[in-house]
Amino acid sequence: AFGGVLCAFTLILIGVLAFSIRLFSVIKYESVIHEFDPYFNFRVTQFLSKNGIYEFWNWFDDRTWYPLGRVIGGTVYPGLTLTAGSIWWFVNALNIPLSVETVCVFTAPIFSAIASWATYLLTKEAKGTGAGLMAAAILAMVPSYISRSVAGSYDNEAVAIFALVFTFYLYVKTLNTGSLFYATLNALSYFYMVCSWGGYTFIINLIPMHVLLCIVTGRYSSRLYIAYAPLVILGTLLAALVPVVGFNAVLTSEHFASFLVFIILHVVAFVYYIKGLLTPRLFKMAMTLVITVGLAVCFAVVAILVALVASSPTKGWSGRSLSLLDPTYASKYIPIIASVSEHQPPTWPSYFMDINVLAFLVPAGIISCFLPLSDASSFMVLYLVTAVYFSGVMVRLMLVLAPAACILSGIALSSAFDVLTRSMKFQLSKLFDDGPAISGNGSPNGSSASTVNTSSSKNEKTEKSEAAPKEKQSKKNRRKDKEVTESVSVKPKKEKRLSVLPLEASIVSTLLLIALGGFYVVHCVWAAAEAYSAPSIVLTSRSREGLHVFDDFREAYAWLSHNTDVDDKVASWWDYGYQTTAMANRTVIVDNNTWNNTHIATVGTAMSSPEKAAWEIFDSLDVKYVLVVFGGLVGYPSDDINKFLWMVRIGGGEFPHIKEPDYLRDGQYRVDAQATPTMLNCLMYKLCYYRFVETDGKGFDRVRGYEIGKKHFKLTHFEEVFTTHHWMVRIYKLKPQKNRIRGKLKKLKSVSLPAY
């Protein structure tokens, strides 16, 4: 009972830890929604809270992707919005007046606390309570998860990681107990995961892989059937219920693995059943008969399937999934996917930054999972291996690696502490008892064992040292030398050898492991406070005068919302679409959803063209205002000039008259005096650097580090209406078409006028 109370208390502490380490951004800045995608989720949640769920399901948004619009109900993953919306509704029903924004900001920390509890449950199923608590504590702090779930980062991953770990827990629990009740819960949890994140395809491919692994390694059991078969049927149905997935649940290649393994599982189950009914000789006969017939049928089915799949150009996979399997696919065929910064492969230092010490502990955890190997621990190893592969393809998927790394590190650390504390206890008792009073029959630490076998992170070899001979040990026990078990029951005939280290070694190792944990905690707190808490909508810098705050983005959006008409259309690069619709409440042309490549290419072409051509493109889209982000005055590096080459590439992908080499001088991208005339005349250059020379007389761009090429020029088709305090956001208005035609054109027109 005391153990249970201690465990519960530790879990509460872990929850508080997970919640509070994510509050740095609220303390350092303010309670504000971060980045770009969360603003869209926030806007959708606002709509849901104002208009109710039926309006939300049927919502057609006409304030974005003008003139196409976007069907929100059918293209958004509703899990996060519905979760936050129901929390808001529940809290307000209790008369606690929390605003929607507050609920949205704090959803992520709350769910990360719940996710660490789910990790505890999952690891407990594999290796026991100690490992569970360890893994939960590690997950509460791991920087990779913190980066996507700080207070204010209101994005899908905030609830999706909880759903992922919880679904895995229910799967492993069903596998261990064989209960249909848990299988039902597993399907429902999978449904929540499908609602929350596009990464649900990871689950529906990992679980079939594990089932296949179990069958191939001879661990088929009826519990495996109960764990997998209902999940496939119920899971597919539930996934098809979510509008954004729909019939993709049965038609796309991402789900075919689950159906294939479903069929294989049934075949295997049937074979085992028949084996139970017949004698071995008859069974062999049946096998030869079935195999000849079965192979022929299989061949036919596979041929049909291959023909169906090969007839579609992407072989049935979506672009994002293909870029996971072939990392070079996106850069060759789909520049949009290649340009998203989250989709780049990670660098080696980012592994150490994001999972820190766990990178060393994970291999130890893998070894610990093999002693002994159970269904649950083989699942952990498989999860880790696939997660490591995918995290190497896209930096965003480091997030999927984080729970796996935490679980395996928890297992490793727990096993290590187990061995070390057991050694210390045994050695100390031996020291105080002053004599080899081990009878081998009732002592909890087992018999003589002095085989040195550490499962700590440093040492992986099994060293054998001579065991002190005991009269009671029979030769039978020598065969059990290699076994390392954690059971403490000792029977008289069968003695299990437990590993024990010398006292000094175990004390020093324990202290070193605790120090390792200390380094990890320090790193996590530093990463949470310094690296991952920036809201990106507000920037700060330290100078001699103190803290300087750059609030230009909100200044620009507030200007837009106060000084323009409600129906005015604003054009900018797609990065700022969500923020513009959420904060400025104006219609935009393209936004972060990036579902229509041609529309984005149109905006990209306009930004890359000279003023008149750009004016015409924007006028055809009814645009009134154009917004650009410029960091040259203050040294903000993620501005539109740095992103400009992507605009050229994407625009050039659809409109061949935009050619990237036209904007590069000798293959180099420059905007100084050496830049090409096409670059110096394009709209993006002009809108960013208009009147820039007035700031310091020379036009020195702090980001690029040189003076700009064209310094004095006038705008003919656009007029500047607003520039923020640090020149970071600049808003221009399209000049209306002239009423009278003057000069040369008048003579041409007068010829066609009727003569009176």
Smallest distance from another protein to CB 174, Å: 11
Q: Tell me which of 5, 94, 277, 547 binds another protein, using CB under 8 A.
A: 277
Could you say whether residue 53 binds another protein (CB under 8 A)? no
Closer to another protein by Cβ: residue 277 or 547: 277
Site string for another protein, 161-180 (x = CB under 8 A): -----------------xxx
Per CB under 8 A, which of residues 240..259 are in contact with another protein?
240-241, 247, 250
Closer to another protein by Cβ: residue 174 or 533: 174
Please work out the total of residues on this chain that contact another protein, with binding judged by CB under 8 A.
34
Q: Which stretch binds another protein (CB under 8 A): 7-15, 183-191, 529-537, 559-567?
A: 183-191
Smallest distance from another protein to CB 315, Å: 21
Token output for 616: 């015409």
Among the listed residues 393, 406, 396, the one whose alpha carbon sits nearest the alpha carbon of residue 355: 406
Could you say whether residue 300 binds another protein (CB under 8 A)? no
Torsion of CA 83, 84, 86, 90, to 10 degrees: 130
Could you say whether residue 183 binds another protein (CB under 8 A)? yes
Asked if residue 169 lies in contact with residue 121, where contact means CB atoms within 8 angstroms, the answer is yes
Q: Tell me which of 49, 81, 236, 564 binds another protein, using CB under 8 A.
A: 236
Residues 699-736 as b or e (16 or more Cβ within 10 Å = b): bbbebbeeebbbeeeeeebbeeebbbebbbbbbbbbee
Among the listed residues 140, 136, 207, the one whose alpha carbon sits nearest the alpha carbon of residue 167: 207
Q: Which stretch binds another protein (CB under 8 A): 270-278, 345-353, 652-660, 743-751?
A: 270-278
Bridge partners (DSSP) listed for residue 730:
628, 723
Q: Which stretch binds another protein (CB under 8 A): 285-293, 340-348, 445-453, 604-612?
A: 285-293
* Dihedral over Cα of 350, 351, 353, 354: its sign: positive
Could you say whether residue 429 binds another protein (CB under 8 A)? no
Could you say whether residue 296 binds another protein (CB under 8 A)? no
Token output for 623: 């645009």
Closer to another protein by Cβ: residue 270 or 519: 270
Q: How far is Cα 326 from Cα 321, in angstroms, rounded to an integer?
A: 9
Q: How far is Cα 47 from Cα 61, in angstroms, rounded to an integer?
A: 11
Smallest distance from another protein to CB 100, Å: 28
| DSSP-H helix ranges across 52-196 | 53-57, 72-75, 79-93, 100-127, 129-141, 143-147, 157-177, 180-196
Smallest distance from another protein to CB 79, Å: 17
Closer to another protein by Cβ: residue 228 or 630: 228
Closer to another protein by Cβ: residue 297 or 753: 297
Q: Which helix (H) or strand (E) holds 523?
A: helix 503-526
Among the listed residues 506, 495, 504, 486, the one whose alpha carbon sits nearest the alpha carbon of residue 449: 495
Torsion of CA 271, 272, 273, 279, to 10 degrees: 90
Could you say whether residue 238 binds another protein (CB under 8 A)? yes
In this structure, how many other beta carbons lie within 10 angstroms of the beta carbon of residue 321?
17
Q: Tell me which of 27, 285, 428, 508 binds another protein, using CB under 8 A.
A: 285
Asked if residue 72 lies in contact with residue 53, where contact means CB atoms within 8 angstroms, the answer is no
Closer to another protein by Cβ: residue 188 or 371: 188
Site string for another protein, 129-168 (x = CB under 8 A): ----------------------------------------
Asked if residue 141 lies in contact with residue 521, where contact means CB atoms within 8 angstroms, the answer is yes
Find all residues with CB under 8 Å of 254, minimum gap 6, and list them.
Answer: 201, 204, 205, 248, 317, 318, 321
Token output for 529: 């406070």
Per CB under 8 A, which of residues 216..235 are in contact with another protein?
221-223, 225-226, 229-230, 233-234
Could you say whether residue 187 binds another protein (CB under 8 A)? yes
Closer to another protein by Cβ: residue 279 or 668: 279
Smallest distance from another protein to CB 591, Å: 30
Could you say whether residue 421 binds another protein (CB under 8 A)? no
Could you say whether residue 525 binds another protein (CB under 8 A)? no
Q: How far is Cα 491 from Cα 489, in angstroms, rounded to an integer?
A: 7
Q: Which stretch binds another protein (CB under 8 A): 274-282, 363-371, 560-568, 624-632?
A: 274-282
Q: Tell me which of 278, 302, 310, 673 binds another protein, using CB under 8 A.
A: 278
Among the listed residues 524, 510, 516, the one whose alpha carbon sits nearest the alpha carbon of residue 409: 516
Q: How far is Cα 476 from Cα 686, in angstroms, rounded to an integer?
A: 87
Q: How far is Cα 681 from Cα 385, in angstroms, rounded to an integer?
A: 51
Smallest distance from another protein to CB 494, Å: 22
Could you say whether residue 276 binds another protein (CB under 8 A)? yes
Smallest distance from another protein to CB 485, Å: 22
Closer to another protein by Cβ: residue 258 or 477: 258
Token output for 195: 């609602």
Q: How far is Cα 670 from Cα 706, in angstroms, rounded to an integer?
A: 10
Smallest distance from another protein to CB 253, Å: 18
Could you say whether residue 392 binds another protein (CB under 8 A)? no
Q: Tell me which of 31, 92, 129, 184 binds another protein, using CB under 8 A.
A: 184
Could you say whether residue 74 binds another protein (CB under 8 A)? no
Q: How far apart are the first and last CA of the chain?
A: 109
Residue with structure tokens 């997998």?
Answer: 228
* Residues engaged in binding another protein (CB under 8 A): 178-181, 183-184, 187-188, 221-223, 225-226, 229-230, 233-234, 236-238, 240-241, 247, 250, 269, 274, 276-279, 282, 285-286, 289
